Amino acid sequence: MNVLLIDDHFCAREGVACLLKQIYPDIQVFEAESFTGGLAIAREQPLNLVLLDLQLPDRSGLAGLVELKQEFPDLCVVMFSGVEDRELVFQALKSGAMGFVVKTVSRQVFTEALRDVLSGKVYLPATIVGSSTLLTSGDQTTTGIRPATSPASLGLTPREFEILRWIACGHTNKLIAKQLNIQEQTVRNHLRPIFQKFGVSRRTELLVKLFEQGIVFGLSGAGK
């Protein structure tokens, strides 16, 4: 597996590279201190994942993300930032990121985030998705937060609502099918009307729509 780290801080790169090699002993880690340098490596090496810093000396991370996705549409890019901001997460998803990892996360969370994105899932900070503190605080007056309390509240069938809740947790069709004890094709069949009702065509667009509308789910079943 080939991973590219684009970060202008040497210590940050070295620390992440060391951790990656501990998690994946056979990994090949490439490093760049600027977006220009990272882009040159991406053009020369087949990559499985890019960890892209949000603030770089020659390009903003979001602008770099757009450029990477334009040239390499299938490349898995994860934003790696010291800043956890809801609007930045929205922008990253809209631009094609498969995840947004905050630099202050624990080793366990970092490991889980990598496994998620490498398996095709979208990883987002728990505080953005709708963490337990947000969902159990009892404060329903929080600006922009719209708890999804029932299928009818979103114009969905009970099964669509259940599947959407799992999608909001970043689960793949395969995992959803396993959790619900149904066929993977059945999950795909339910996804079509969900996409139509939200006016989207992709999972990342659906997640953006949920977050923009402030829709959060209780985690009584999903995500545990």
Domain range for 125: 2-129
Question: What three-state secondary structure class fits 28?
Answer: strand
Reported confidence tier of residue 134, pLDDT bands at 50, 70, 90: very low
Does 111 share its domain with 15?
yes
Cβ–Cβ < 8 Å for 64, 72: no
pLDDT tens figures, 96-108: 898 899 888 888 8
- In single-letter form, the type of residue at position 123 comes to Y
pLDDT band of 206, cuts 50, 70, 90: confident
Q: Show which of 103, 129, 155 is a domain's final residue.
A: 129
Q: Are residues 144 and 113 in the same domain?
A: no
136 pLDDT higher than 90:
no
Rounded CA Rg of the chain: 18
Instruction: Kindly state whether residue 150 falls inside one of the protein's structural domains.
Output: yes
pLDDT recorded at residue 146: 66
138, 180: one domain: yes
Q: 187, 133, 135, 130: which is closest to 164 by C-alpha?
A: 187
pLDDT at position 21: 92
Tally of domains in the chain: 2
